[in-house]
A and B are shown apart, each in its own frame.
Chain A
Amino acid sequence: MPDEVIDCRGQRCPLPVIAAARRMPEVPVGTVVRVLADDPAAAVDIPAWCRMRGQEFLGAINGPEGPAYNIRRTH
């Protein structure tokens, strides 16, 4: 389970990526943040952002709240 959830549903890319980028530095290292984002570009851009920023992309899930992406702050 994630430690916290950012709800970006209804937002177009790059907004969900920007929301994740704003929040990650504020949470303790090791925290798992889940981004809810229904823009199809998030499926590409959130893993790409994790790779570019060296954060850990834990995977995408499709739950009752729609597509969601789990990220762990690693540094």
Chain B
Amino acid sequence: MSAPPVYLDAATAAPMHPVARQALLAALDDGWADPGKLYTQARRARQLLDAAREATASTLGVRADEVSFTPSGTTAAHGAVLGGLAGRRRVGTTLVHSAIEHSAVLHAAERHVGAGGTASVVPVDRLGRLDLTAWSSAVRAPGVALAALITASHEVGTVQPVAEAAAACADVGVPLYVDAAQSVGRVPLPAGWSVLTASAHKWGGPPGVGVLAVRKGARWESPWPADERESGRTPGVVNLPAVVAAAASLRAAAADAATEAARLAALVNRIRERVAAEVPDVEVVGDPVLRLPHLVTFSCLYVDGEALLHALDRRGFAVSSGSSCTSSTLRPSHVLEAMGVLSHGNVRVSLHRETTEADVERFLTELPGIVAGLRAEAGVVGL
């Protein structure tokens, strides 16, 4: 008996929106030429690219010339950090960032530190929420070039106090970069940032499209070798069919965002309550209220995270984990570590527009037995 698959890892990559698929197929026919050239085919490609940029900018609430498309969300994050630091190198060489940034931001920070810069890491509380007092004093220190804050945790869903963090930055003239990968296309964006990045496959666009938005007047300088495309912010010709699909699906996702957020938040609340009530010795992590609508994380005491992922996969459930045994480095998630919560037996469930109530019910019905089975196998029942 094989169960139908239930995909619950939208925070990694959401299934492609039907609008994205249609736009991608149409743009494969029409958008293959280099938009930088002067002949007819190129002009058609340029029109598609301009329209995609206008639509994306309008959803983000910025001007079209502030938006560049990158080859991935990771590239966008690298560019945001390194370019933000490069643009303010005369002011100083310190990057302030939260302890729970995405690894793309942390890897860019490591590069900066390796090149002689410094990084100042701001802690979070047990719920995964930024320590605003520590943040305010960190951005006030002399020599801060850039501050980086994720809009909401991609691992535990806790929404960050971006408006307050931005106000602290504005007080001392430090530009703020926000990684909005989990927010764009799902929830309203915070104000007060200078640089923002996002990733199309998180909102139902195709993989391989990132967005880098740099506000007018922000001190940002490309860290890459010179290239005139995309306002000089990211080198190389864009994957135009994918960009067109990304923009079309963003518009569609944003149009449904409020309705979807309400629907998914109710399902996430159900998961939080039922898991806590029906799985013994489980820690449901993240802020219970100030959270993303589509993402929930919990850890099961005494359970091996990798074994849990495989057991869920055998029952048709695709989920993610921050446990060390599931990472290539064999280190626990830096987010769970920063929060001081249990890191083994960790499961992140993230929902999307195709997730049904029945999918969630089946997951909730099967999970307690799967966890109990693994605990019985490991001989840890009753510990």
Contacts and interface: CB of A to CB of B under 8 A. Distances in A.
Interface of A: 12-14, 17-18, 21-22, 39-41, 43-45, 47-49, 52
Interface residues of B, number: 23
B283 A14 contact: no
Contacts of A13: 323-325, 332, 343-344
Q: Which of A39, A45, A49, A52 has the most CB of B within 10 A?
A: A45
B357 interface: no
B337 A44 contact: yes
Contacts of B100: none
A12 B383 contact: no
Interface string B321-353: 001110000111000110011111100000000
Given A14-B303, A17-B302, A44 B325 contact: no
A17 B331 contact: no
A51 B366 CA distance: 28
Interface in B279-332: 281, 283, 301-304, 323-325, 330-332
Contact of A48 (B304, B330, B340, B378): B340
A52 B340 contact: no
Given A14-B304, A39-B330, A44-B336, 4 more contacts: A13-B324, A13-B343, A44-B340, A49-B342
A21 B383 contact: yes
Given A12-B325, A14-B302, A18-B383, A48 B331 contact: no
Contacts of B378: 18
B177 to A, nearest CB: 27
B327 to A, nearest CB: 10
Contacts of A12: 304, 324-325, 330
Contacts, number: 63
A21 B337 contact: no
Interface string B121-162: 000000000000000000000000000000000000000000
A39 B329 CA distance: 11
A45 B281 CA distance: 13
A52 B301 contact: yes
Contacts of A17: 301-302, 344
A41 B325 CA distance: 9
B301 A49 contact: yes
Nearest to A16: B344
A13 B336 CA distance: 14
Given A52-B281, A52-B283, A45 B344 contact: yes
A42 B331 CA distance: 10
A41 B340 contact: no
